[in-house]
Every structure is written in C-alpha cells, then in structure tokens.
Amino acid sequence: MRHPLCLAALLSLLAQSALAQPALATPPPQPAGLTDDHRAALQCAATFAVVATEQARGEEAALAFPMLAVRGKRYFAAVGDKVVGEAGLTKEQVRDILTADVAALQARAGTDPDGALRTAMKPCLARLEAEVPPLKEPTLLQCSAILSLAYDEVHAREGLSPAAQDMKTLASVLAARQHEALVAGGKSGDEADAALALAHDAMLKEAFDGAGGIEKYDIAHCYDLAKPAAKSHY
C-alpha cells in the first residue's frame, strides 16, 4: 500500500527536465518494437506531465482539465511498465522518449500554449479514463481509516519520524471529527469508537483485496478534511 505524499513530484521533474532539452528538428528514430499505440500512449503521458505541472502552479487553463497529480502519475507508471514489457525498452529509454516528448510539446506551444495543451489533451482524455478511472471521494469516516493506516505504515518503516508524527496528527484530527459527528448524530461514545474501529478494519481489508484498495480513493481529499476549521487550532 502506497500513500502519495508528493503526488506530482515525478511528473513535475519530468516536465522540468525537458526544459533543458533542445527541441529536435526531426524526431529520433523509433526503436524496434515500439508501436504507434505505444508512441501515442507515451505522448499522452508527456502531455499529462506538462498539465500536472501547470496545475500545481495554479494555471487556470490547466485547471480546466481533470486533476492529474494522482491519475497522471498512475497513468505514467502503467504506460511506462507496458512499454517496457511489450516493446522491450529499458526504463531509461522510456524516460528519454518522454522527456523528448515534453520538450517537443513545449516547443510547439509557441505563442498559444493554452491552445497547444487543449489540442494535445483532446485525444488523451479517453486514454486516461480507460487506464485510470476517476478516483472516489472518501467520506470522513473512510479518511480517518486511510490516514490511520498511513500512520501505521510510516511508523513501521521510520519509527516516530517527523513524517510519522505529521500523519499521526492528521489521523487524530480526522478521528476526533468523525467521533464528534457520530455522537452528534445520536450514537454513544462507545458506538462511535466501534464505528471507527470497523472502518479501520474495512479499509485494511480493502488495502489487500487486489481491487484497487486504498489507491482508488482521492487521498488528497482527506488532507483537505484535516485542515483546521476557521478560527480554530488542532
């Protein structure tokens, strides 16, 4: 089970590395085994890298597309693995192709970068939907369980590190808010505790059920739910 603490990092690094790459007058020769479908899939991965980076910067045009910090990264990983397996390329070769594609997209942008992104994204949205379905928005109860499991994982790996302490704080905040909501809805304190424990066990089961598990949820929404309420402190 993985918990993306910096979801756009890989895509951002890919896009940023392309800034130092000169756009080629002619594309490099296509490696043997790399099909037209592979190339189209990789070009979409490069496009998602650029859009995810622009979304992280708050660019209005990029924010009109589906958020790609999580889904773009998963698409990138799935397509990269597919091309490595089917075309016989190394991961380094796939990375180099993606970097060149990002640089080419940025070079084509010219004086209308927003238009260039819209054009590039149009054929890629269907691929995104097919490869990485939209993430589910978890409830407060589910988020309390997700971040509790995240804390357990980080703590087991790192001990009570700063990252583990942060995760523990977030998990505690969500659990307290869910407990308060359940009590306000008529449950006793013991019933609220039991509901939280059941949610934790159910989410733990999902993490190992082989059907997407926790990664099918929009975990960024959990961080939003854990933000301090107005004029209050943790």
Cα–Cα distance, 185 to 132 (Å, whole number) = 36
C-alpha distances out from residue 13 to 24, 27, 42, 101, 180, Å? 20, 22, 16, 14, 41
Q: What is the DSSP string of 114-166?
A: HHHHHHHHTTHHHHHHHHSPPPB---HHHHHHHHHHHHHHHHHHHSS-HHHHH
pLDDT 10s digits, 164-212: 888 889 889 999 999 999 999 999 999 999 998 988 888 888 777 655 5
The one-letter amino acid at 2: R
pLDDT of residue 19: 37
Residue 27 tokens read as 């594309």
142 in Cβ contact with 205 (< 8 Å): no
Q: Where are the domains of the chain?
A: 9-131, 140-225
pLDDT in tens, the chain (234 residues): 233 323 334 444 444 443 344 444 445 556 667 899 999 999 999 999 889 888 888 888 888 888 888 788 889 888 989 999 998 888 888 888 888 888 888 888 777 888 888 898 999 999 998 888 777 888 888 888 888 888 888 888 888 888 888 888 988 999 999 999 999 999 999 999 999 898 888 888 877 765 556 777 888 888 888 888 665 554
Whole-number mean pLDDT of the chain? 80
